Amino acid sequence: MTQNYDAIVIGAGVSGLYTLYKLRKLGLTVRVFEAGGDIGGTWYWNRYPGARFDSESYSYQYSFSQELIDEWNWSEHFSAQPEIERYLHFVADKFDLRRDIECNARVAAVTYDENEKRWEIATHNGLRARARYVICATGLLSAHQYPDYEGVADFAGLSLHTARWPKDPVDFRGKRVGIIGTGPTAVQIIQTIAPDCGRLTVFQRTANWCTPLRNRPITAEEQQALKEKAHEIFAQCKRNWAGFIHEPDPRRAMDVPKAERMARYQMLYDRGGFALWLGNFSDSFMSREAADEVAEFLAAKIRERVADPETAEKLIPKHPFGTKRCPGEKNYYETFNLPNVRLVDLRETPIKKISRTGIETTNELHELDVIIYATGFHSLTGELLRMDIRGEHGRSLQEHWADGPRTNLGIQFSGFPNLWAIMGPHNPAVFCNIPRCAETNVEWIVDCIRYMREKGFETMATTPEAEDAWTRRCYESVKGLLIDDMRDSWFFGSTNPENVRGRFLLFAGGVPLYREIFANVAANGYEGFELR
């Protein structure tokens, strides 16, 4: 039987939960469909050992409820996945959200009925529902991907993807473990499991510029102070280009005397989190000279920390500092000093195939009991394109995006009225500390719906012209940034299908500008959107 609602939300992660909360407040009937066996999204699926925030816990939490801020105590500056999952459960229970959430319900199709101006969704497990509004809160890094090596399915041992980690602990003791990938996920798991493994072989294609996380428990005094200044922290995040607490020095790096620059790098290195990446000088993302100096600073640290000089050189990235997300590490580099850990450089000896017994590189068969794939995601477009979304005239999102994604504000796609996306391509909420911008985004969408209902509009859809303009603006937003020279990252969909790859999938104009743009669009009667 098809159930009718005012709104359907796809995904019960950080954004989906807040969307449900807000839409309910508006008096709408809402149903959330969630693929996972429980709520949590990213924090449900990514339960691998060592998974934790790279945002400071108190900058990641929801800001919408003072009670919530007062009642929840984070135990660490960068809390780990079990605590984050507990937090999201606490939120769901506190606001009685679960009664409107259907778990184990992966949405397969989302189809627009032009006559009725209603969307109908169908899940893989046979549920059907209709609603006037659909909000896709499907996450930016949800569609996990395996490498396309021959033989991935043939391996006779245990194969694990970090984004589909089992709930029961995996025992690595005495096992020969291989891990493919050295992104932020891999760094977290490598440094955590290495001491337990019989042998750990790390298959690295690209080294990353890792910076120390400096995680530590939150003391009782800190706890109180953090609660008192919670809103100050949120405001600080909204002021900063990247949405984190780290505030850059307003000067250009090379205008500052060298000794002072070096002292600042050290101070930020010691502070931890994304401090060195996001809290450096104002031109850190533009000046190659400045980036190279930070790279040199970090390379020296790697050489100091890794005993074997050859391994150290392999762990030193070749790309400019800051052009990819910097994994937060603790003892990552020292891990390679352990006698049971080995680094295999895939640039020197690429993987030929996965065999029944292990990983075969061009010069060696690495026999393994466990292969861990920390190989990332089809970023941003992945989860949306995995559903069969069909708008006006039966046109699919796949067709609409055949030449790469096109969106207005990353929120809507032309020909798909009353369908909004929170974490899709071009959405400025993505190049940000996720909850900070997701909240703004959700509030903006819910305000649209409120506006439509107050003014008697049935549908809202972006115009193709506004869509083209925003898509161009996203491409423009990266010009002049060093990121533009490093296309081998999920920012450019490096592991996505061909038609998405190589295009900038984000808006890099910064959080203050994003907030201003969205506010102006709304203030001008949703300029660029057609209301009928």
Please identify, using beta-carbon distances, which residue of 145 and 499 lies nearer to ligand NA7: 145
Q: Which of positions 138-177 make contact with ligand NA7 (CB under 6 A)? A: 141, 147
Q: Is 205 in the site for ligand NA7 (CB under 6 A)?
A: yes
Q: Which of positions 478-517 make contact with ligand NA7 (CB under 6 A)? A: 488, 490, 494-495
Output the smallest distance, CB 28 to ligand NA7, in A: 32
**Sequential DSSP letters for 140-200:** SS-EE-----TTGGG--SEEEEGGG--SSPP--BT-EEEEE--SHHHHHHHHHHGGGBSEE
Among 13, 139, 181, 320, binds ligand NA7 (CB under 6 A): 181
Output the smallest distance, CB 137 to ligand NA7, in A: 17
Among 14, 190, 371, 374, binds ligand NA7 (CB under 6 A): 374
**CB contact at 8 A, 141 and 377:** yes
Assign 226 to helix, strand or coil. Answer: helix
Render the burial of 54-78: b for 16+ CB within 10 Å, e for the rest.
bbbbbbbbbbbeeebbeebebeebb
Output the smallest distance, CB 376 to ligand NA7, in A: 3
Residue window 345-364: x/- pattern of binding to ligand NA7, with contact defined by CB under 6 A: -x------------------
Output the smallest distance, CB 255 to ligand NA7, in A: 31
Assign 200 to helix, strand or coil. Answer: strand
259: which residues sit within 8 A by CB, 6+ positions away? none
Q: How many residues bind ligand NA7 (CB under 6 A)?
A: 20
What is the torsion angle, in degrees rounded to the nearest 10, for the CA atoms of residue 523, residue 528, residue 531 and residue 532?
Answer: 160
Output the smallest distance, CB 179 to ligand NA7, in A: 9
Q: Looking at beta carbons, which residue is closest to ligand NA7?
A: 183
Q: Which of positions 306-325 make contact with ligand NA7 (CB under 6 A)? A: 325
Q: Is 343 in the site for ligand NA7 (CB under 6 A)?
A: no
Which one of the spans 69-77, 178-186, 416-424, 507-515 is the region binding ligand NA7 (CB under 6 A)? 178-186
For the chain, the first-to-last Cα distance in angstroms comes to: 30
Return the HEC string of 337-394.
Answer: CCCCEEEEECCCCCEEEECCCEEEECCEEEECCEEEECCCEECCCHHHHHCEEECHHH
Output the smallest distance, CB 186 to ligand NA7, in A: 6
12: which residues sit within 8 A by CB, 6+ positions away? 20, 32, 34, 36, 39, 40, 41, 92, 101, 103, 137
Q: Is 435 in the site for ligand NA7 (CB under 6 A)?
A: no
Among 279, 376, 410, 425, binds ligand NA7 (CB under 6 A): 376
Binding-site ranges for ligand NA7 (CB under 6 A): 141, 147, 180-186, 205-206, 325, 346, 374-376, 488, 490, 494-495
